[in-house]
Chains A and B, each alone.
Chain A
Amino acid sequence: MSEPPRRARPAGATVVPPAAESAPPRERTKAPTPFLLDFFPLEGEKETRLARFYARLAEGRLSTTRCPADGRLLWPPRTACPHCHAETLEWVDLPEDGRLYAFSAVLAGAPLGMEAEVPFAVGLVDLAGVPLRLFGRIEGKSWDALAIGDPVRVEPYALGDGRWFYRFRASP
């Protein structure tokens, strides 16, 4: 899989306000059939109110929503704040860097579509400077070479059917 385009991003750990939106979200996803046996979501704007999240991923940006009313950063991205129930949330980019809080690996028992990827590592990543701990696939190192505290970077990636998702890459 080719490396996604990356946006220049300010160093450091603060959440940056969104730049002007560029590429618009796609209308519809070319989804596999049967879709209900596929774990990846529908990403088009006729299918989800979070289409902007996937459009930004395709630009190399992992982002989420923040509630302007109470300032809380929300994960996963939402359409309504669970605290004050405001529905006008804003998009913010997340830091690229994080550290492993915990990890394991799937050595057996993978779901459909993931059997060929076994063994694969998964983990919880503390993103630098924000109160978010994200779960995801950990690439770049075998699970038995990983350690708690290892630095990892956010890596948006293309699924090959027009859709995008995110994972983390450990430094070699």
Chain B
Amino acid sequence: MSGRRVAVVGGVTTKFGLRPATWSELAQEVGAALFRSVPALRAEDVDSLFVGAAEPERFAFQSHAAPIVAEQMGIRPSRILQRTELACASGQSAIRSAYAAIAAGLSDVAVAVGLEKMNLPSMAEANTAMACVMDRAWDGPAGATAPPFFAMVAQRHMREYGTTEEQLAAVSEKNHRFANTNPTAQFYEKTFARDRLMRLPMIAPPLRLGDCSSMTDGAAAVVLAAENVVGRFPDPPAWIRGTGQYSDFHNLANAGSLTEWPGLAHAARTALRGAGISIGDVDFAELHDCFTISEIVEYEALGLCAPGAGGAFAADGRGDVGGDLVVNPRGGLLGCGHPLGATGIAQAVEVFQQFASKVPPARQVPDPEWALVHNLSGSANVHSVMVYGREGAS
């Protein structure tokens, strides 16, 4: 890691779910919530705004998204204003871009905001938007969307390693249980026992409804600051200590074995090396559980367990309270819902709040020093990873 040190000094998440609000109203809501939540933040100090929004053209019929979000939030960026689009990783892209700008000395105080309004009157139209993430001309005509792709990952994982539906359900049960501690989660106050999860309708076999994250409306925002202005903000900062990314392929023909995600291993190695730590040092992780099988393959690609052992890792509670590390204490995409652009930002909010001991005791990780955040995008073809530390580099 080079350049100036950068930290997240505040953040907020709106309620996720089926929101009776438009896309731009979500931007107003997250802006108002951010300035309430970070009283030390003055709008005139925000020199740059990065807007993580995956598909406002499809979901809200709105392009030129960054300036309208700036206007809705009451921010007039004087240095850098841009939208970041990387499908499901659009939010983390906004944070990485803000980080790069601050580290390079081009910004001092930046806001990274993510938002998506995914529930449309016609779910077929929303599904069309999701299908656009795939290679439209080649995979799109066959009806490729995320559920059948990740279903094939699960099918191969079951065949090669004996992974079971019970093990998939263990991931969903854990993340929904954590979501019950998070009032912003779409599935707050909704519990799912494993046997009930395994009776839910099949969406894309072998994946059932409870194995899939939802189409969700929501927004989240974080404030990032350069080391010389971090002291203006009274809460303990979450320092960005490492970041990595890897893009393997796009067309599904180039997806390899499906069960190995070498791009994640590569991105995580880069991020952990930047922080000077190994995966065993991480106290909690926000992993991209767009589907239950994703979290299982991620355990393996991150080196938390051997290839093929991710199902047992889940069923044995090694990613749960009292396990090796806590995975998805926020409730994950499964429990919180997955408003594409907002997800990566909401994960960073969780890291900030965990470090600042601002989450409910039921999910507070005791004295965390290190956190890892992962987003995949598309058909797990791109992996983006960030490592946060409670201490800044010396």
Neighbour of A148 across the interface among B136, B145, B155, CB < 8 A: B155
Quick one: closest A residue to B147, CB to CB? A109
Residues of chain A within 8 A of B252, CB atoms compared = 124, 135
**Contact of A137 with B125 in the complex, beta carbons under 8 Å:** no
Task: Give chain A interface residues in 90-122, CB to chain B under 8 Å.
Answer: 101-112, 114-115, 117, 120, 122
Within 8 A of A (CB), among B198-221: 201-207
What residues on B are CB-neighbors of A120 within 8 Å? Answer: 143
Among the 9-residue stretches B20-28, B127-135, B312-320, B357-365, the one with 4 or more Cβ atoms under 8 Å from chain A is: B127-135
Q: Which residues of A contact B142 (CB under 8 A)?
A: 122, 135-137, 167
Interface string of A39-76 (1 = CB under 8 A from B): 11100000000000000000000000000000000011
As a 0/1 sequence over residues 116 to 148 of chain B, the CB contacts with chain A under 8 angstroms (1 = contact) are: 000000111101101100011111111111011
> Contact between A122 and B138 (Cβ–Cβ < 8 Å)?
no
Query: Does the CB pair A106–B159 fall under 8 Å?
Result: no
> Closest Cβ of chain B: how far from A134's Cβ, in Å?
5
Are A40 and B127 in contact, with the CB atoms below 8 A?
A: no
> Which of the listed residues A102, A114, A117 has the most CB atoms from chain B within 10 Å of its own CB?
A102
Contact of A37 with B145 in the complex, beta carbons under 8 Å: no
B144 touches A112 (CB 8 A): no
Flag if A144 contacts B143 (CB, 8 Å). Answer: no
Question: What's the minimum C-beta distance from A1 to chain B, rounded to whole angstroms?
Answer: 14
Q: Does B251 contact A (CB under 8 A)?
A: yes
Chain B nearest Cβ from A63, distance in angstroms = 14
B135 touches A76 (CB 8 A): yes
Cβ contacts under 8 Å, B144 to chain A:
122, 135
Q: Knowing A117-B143, A136-B142, A148-B159 touch, does A111 contact B128 (C-beta < 8 A)? A: yes
Size of the chain A interface, CB-CB below 8 angstroms? 36
Check A135/B156 contact, CB under 8 A, given A76-B135, A120-B143, A122-B142.
no
Task: Name B124's contact: one of A40, A110, A134 (CB within 8 Å).
Answer: A110
User: Are B136 and A122 neighbours in the complex by a CB distance under 8 Å?
Assistant: no
Would B155 and A105 count as touching, CB distance under 8 A?
no
Minimum CB–CB distance from A94 to chain B (whole Å) comes to 12
Please name all residues of chain B whose beta carbon is closer than 8 Å to the beta carbon of A110 when the two chains form the complex: 124, 127, 143, 145
Contacting pair B137 A135 (CB below 8 A): no
B253 touches A135 (CB 8 A): yes
Number of A-B contacts (CB under 8 A): 109
Q: Which residues of B contact A107 (CB under 8 A)?
A: 201-205
Q: A104-B148, A110-B127 are in contact. Are A76 and B205 (CB under 8 A)?
A: no
**Residue from B128, B205, B254 within 8 A of A105 (CB atoms):** B205
Residues of A within 8 A of B125 (CB): 112
Question: Quick check: is B255 within 8 A (CB to CB) of the other chain?
Answer: yes
* B131 contacts A124, C-beta separation under 8 Å: no
Contact A112 B127 (CB under 8 A): yes
Docked Cα-Cα span, A136 to B144, in Å, equals 8
Give the distance in Å from the alpha carbon of A124 to the alpha carbon of B156 in the complex.
Answer: 11
Are A111 and B253 in contact (CB-based, < 8 A)? Answer: no
List residues of chain B with CB within 8 A of the CB of A102: 152-153, 155-156, 258
Contacts of A135 in B (CB 8 A): 138-139, 142, 144, 251-253
A111-B136 in contact (CB<8A): no
Tell me whether B128 and A109 are in contact (CB under 8 A): no
**A133 sits at the interface (CB 8 A):** yes
Question: CA of A37 to CA of B61 in the docked complex: distance in angstroms?
Answer: 13
Q: Mark each residue of chain B from 139 to 183: 1 if its CB lies under 8 Å from any CB of chain A, else 0.
A: 111111101110111011001000000000000000000000000
Assess whether A111 is in contact with B251, with CB atoms less than 8 Å apart.
no
**In the complex, which of the residues B137, B143, B156, B202 contacts A114, with contact meaning CB atoms closer than 8 Å?**
B143
Which of B136, B156, B159, B205 meets A144, CB within 8 Å? B205
Which of A41, A117, A122 lies in contact with B137, CB distance below 8 A? A41
Q: Report if A31 contacts B (CB, 8 A).
A: no
The listed residue (B140, B152, B201, B206) touching A124 by CB distance below 8 A is: B152
Question: Which residues does chain B contribute within 8 Å of A165, judged by CB atoms?
Answer: 141
Q: Give B208's nearest chain A residue, CB to CB.
A: A107
Nearest residue in A to B151 (C-beta to C-beta)?
Answer: A104
Q: Least Cβ distance of B4 to chain A in Å?
A: 36
> B128 near A104 (CB under 8 angstroms)?
no
Given contacts A107-B202, A111-B127, A135-B142, 18 further A-B contacts (CB under 8 A): A37-B128, A41-B141, A75-B251, A76-B251, A102-B258, A104-B205, A104-B206, A106-B148, A109-B145, A110-B124, A111-B124, A111-B140, A111-B145, A112-B122, A115-B124, A120-B143, A124-B255, A135-B252
| Nearest 3 A/B pairs, CB to CB | A104-B151, A102-B152, A135-B252
8 contacts between A and B (CB under 8 A): A109-B145, A112-B124, A120-B143, A122-B143, A124-B252, A134-B253, A137-B142, A165-B141
